[in-house]
Amino acid sequence: MKSRPIEILHECEACLAVNKPAGILTQGPPHVPALDKEIRAYLAANRRDVRTVYLGVPHRLDRPVTGVIVFTRHARATRRMTEQFQGRMIRKIYWACVEGRLKPAYGVLRDFVRKVPDEPRAEIVPPDHPEARPAILNYRVIGRTAWGDALEIELETGRMHQIRIQLGSRGYPIVGDVAYGGTTCLEGEIADPRLRPIALHARSLSYLQPMTFEPIQVTAPLPEAWSRAGLAAAFAGLS
């Protein structure tokens, strides 16, 4: 994968937030390109007196998803950020473009999901399934594209592929997300399907700085691929 500069959105002594590009894992095994390795290299380059760089990963974004992701810089910050995520104290706003028109134009989706064993995907299951975990999101239609609706989504839970499976299972797949029923392609010239983006963007995160408890809101601009595909106009004028 071609190297690119890291887009830092917010940085302090406890954590840093970056704008994740599409096509890269948040965290990966040795010898596999991943965003956490790029962040470690960035921190090491700015701290030449330190041989090893600590980096905590309190949450993740799917490989084809873009937007705000937060990393922590020491163990105490990791523990406190993890507590915020687990306690649903962090506000997570996503922007998405789907195939089709949602009705009603706003609402709450509630499901039970599980990770499919030995496969990189999730599925909806009955609530009495032994591996079922609740998945809840709030959505509202904020615009339209040539393919369907543009949505703002607020997650109440953080399950694997949650937005993708909840919308895709109802017949409204994310644009470009062939794994969950999509029939379109956001960046057709990318040959490797693992590197292709989908129209799902972590727009903002609101959390407490883990050491000072100062309220922080971090917002990520839309990727250029959305403009090339004619999707960005649906979000024009929104903060």
Annotated catalytic, 62?
Answer: yes
Determine contact, residues 165/122, Cβ cutoff 8 Å. yes
Determine contact, residues 60/69, Cβ cutoff 8 Å. yes
Which among 36, 49, 62, 118 is annotated as catalytic?
62
Q: Could you tell me which residues come within 8 angstroms of residue 121 by beta carbon, excluding any fewer than 6 positions away? A: 115, 161, 165, 179, 180
Contacts by 9-12 with C-beta closer than 8 Å and gap 24+? 9/68, 9/218, 9/219, 9/220, 10/216, 10/218, 12/209
Q: Is 178 helix (H, G, I), strand (E, B) or coil?
A: helix
Determine contact, residues 55/73, Cβ cutoff 8 Å. yes
Q: How far apart are CA 1 and CA 34, in angstroms?
A: 10
Catalytic residues: 62
